[in-house]
Every structure is written in C-alpha cells, then in structure tokens.
Amino acid sequence: MNRQADPITRSMETYQKEIAFAAAKIKTFIPHFAENFPGPSSVGGIYPIRPNEDWTSSFWTGMLWLCWEATGDDDFRRAAEAQLPSFYRRAYERLHTDTHDLGFLYTLSCVAAWKLTGNQEARNAALAAADLLMERFLPAAGIIQAWGNLNDPANRGRMIVDCTMNLPLLHWASDETGKPTYRDAAISHMDRTLEHIFRDDHTTFHTFFMNPETGAPLHGTTAQGYADDSCWARGQAWAMYGLPLGYRHTHNPNLLHRAAEASGYFLEHLPADGVCFWDLIFTSDNEKRDSSAAAIAVCGLLEHASHLPPAHPRHRLYEDAAMRMMNALIGGYVNRTREESSGLLTEAVYDMPKNVGVGESCIWGDYFYLEALVRMVRDWRPYW
C-alpha cells in the first residue's frame, strides 16, 4: 500500500504509535479480566466483567492475539491462552451455543490459536464449534439460522447479515478436514444472503426470514436498525467485510462485485468526518455515530483492496477511503484515558432501539479498530 502518496494520510509511524498505545492500554486490563471477558458494551465508559456467555467474548481474546503478533510480548499470548479452556468448555458442553455467532467466537479464539501457535486442542474445539454451527443449517431454506432454539417460532428460519462474518469458520473446517459439507453450507448461506438480504439499491436488510420447510423467502426486518427498510450501518459494514472474506475462500468474483455495491452505498452516505451514523438513513449531525461500524468497514475495504490488482481503480479508492476513516477515528474517537477497562473507541452504538450501549465503547469496535491498525502496518494473515 503506497501510503506516502496521499498527503491527507497519516504516516506509518502514527499507526505504529496507535498500536503501541492500544497494546499498552489492553495490557493493563489483563489482570482485570483474567479468565473472564469484557461485556459487549461499556456502561458509563467501563466494560463490565462477564463470563464466556456472550456472542462477543472472543473479540477480547482476538485483541490479545493481535497484540501478541504486533508486539511480540508473550504476556499477551499467555493471557489469550488462559482464556481458551472456557471456549473448550463452551463447545463441548454446549453452553450458550444457540447462535450463528459461533463463527465469531471460535475464529478469533481457537482458530487464531491454531494458526498462530499450532495448538491442537484449540483446533479440535474450533472443529467442534463448526459442527455445532452446522446443526443450525436448514437444508430446505439453505441457510444457517441466526438466533435461538431451532424450534423457536420467533426465530425459526431467520438469517441475518452479520452471518457473512461467521462463514469463514466453516470454510476453515472444510480446509482442515477435507470435508466439503462445511463449505457447501457456507456457500449456500451466502447465496441466499445475496438473493434476499441485499436490496436492489445496494442496501441490506438486517434480518430476513425464510420458510424453513419449503425454502420460500418471506420478508425482511430489522432488529437494531432504524426501520425495516432503512440501512443499519453496522449491518452494511458486516456485508462490506464478510463478502470479501467469502471471496478469500471461494474466489467467486460475484462476491467482490456485490461487496463493491455495498461499499459504494456506505461511502456515499458518510458524513463529512467519515464516521458513519448508526443508520445510513440519517444525514443530521444530531444523530449518533457508530464508530464500531466504521472500524468494521475499514477492515472490509482493506480486505477487498487486497484482492484487487494495484492498477484496479477500486484498489486505491478503497485504500484511501479506509485511511481517511481510520484517521477520523484516530483523530476524534479514540479513548485516550487509561481508566481501568475503558474501551479503545468511544461513540459506538450497540442497540439503539433498546437504548443499549449508545455512545459507549463496543468490544467488537475495539477489536476491528485494532485489526485495521495491524492491517495498515503489516502484511497480516487473517484469522478469518
């Protein structure tokens, strides 16, 4: 990436300094959380301590792995490894596993451990999680059900845009075992996502329901966006990142084409400072931003650019857009305090309709911000 050619971008040294600041802050929290985890979002700026029960637990573990890679400090490796037994128990004892977010949970904890250290026990737990995720595949609908018990009428046949980020676990499992069933399920789910989650104007539904018995498409809704027909910013960002990750595993050019459409809409609907409102329907500065969605989008743009030749016009477009958004986050949204267990990014939004985590730190925003910084300064091998 030719970062010096664009005068508005920050230097490599600045990104390195931001990694060092983040790593130092995270290191101070290691004794605070120990074998536990930050909650999904901060409360009054402070993350609560949680057991390994949430869909977000692995973002903290993933941050520890990123810090170890970036700094070489073995304290981060030891801290990440101390958390792995809780992921083993969660998979083998089926604790809080009624969710498609097994992809998030085990990619950033156990798959990362296997890729980085060759931890065989972590590999086995990640494969067990992939099997649990396969249990959520509804063959007639061709989708992985997002939430809840498979017989829960409120969630039966529901898929959500976030799941594009959970599919890499299945691709990895297929690569590890040589069994095509994992990959086939991931491809089927992505195909249904492109058919039904994506709208003609290049926006995305948050959730979409399929008839689980016939496979017939039913209707799209939102759970955390402004309205069923609006464009929830974090959901659009998940698509911007999940589709290029799908391309990484399948080399299906349609995934980059559709990701370009989603990215184009996202970038066209940014406010002046480059950090999105929580729903892209909004244009007024009176609305809350979502720094976490911006961080996800940066990772998506960088992943997408990595699959394009340097001469491709979107290659430079996406790198420049990613750096502008990162500079905006660094300049106005980084939490510079070192108060115990305060987040890296401020002004994130977890769930606006329920007024949860609004204007707070969100642990996935912190993770993707750190991943984006690492991507900026090195040729990083994704855990995904």
Which residues are annotated as catalytic? 101, 162
147-152, long-range: CB < 8 A, 24+ apart: 147/98, 147/99, 147/100, 148/98, 148/99, 149/98
Give the CA radius of gyration of the chain: 19
Asked if 209 and 147 touch (Cβ cutoff 8 Å), the reply is no
Task: Report the distance separating Cα 20 and Cα 18, nearest Å.
Answer: 5
User: Could you give phi then psi for residue 265, rounded to 5 degrees?
Assistant: -65, -45
Asked if 59 and 366 touch (Cβ cutoff 8 Å), the reply is yes
User: Could you give phi then psi for residue 298, rounded to 5 degrees?
Assistant: -60, -45
Task: Report the distance separating Cα 270 and Cα 290, nearest Å.
Answer: 11
The CA distances from residue 249 to 37, 167, 186, 188, in Å, are: 30, 10, 10, 14
Q: Shortest CA distance to 145 belongs to which of 163, 157, 129, 162? A: 157
In this structure, the dihedral spanned by the alpha carbons of residues 356, 361, 362 and 363, taken in order and rounded to 10 degrees, is: -140
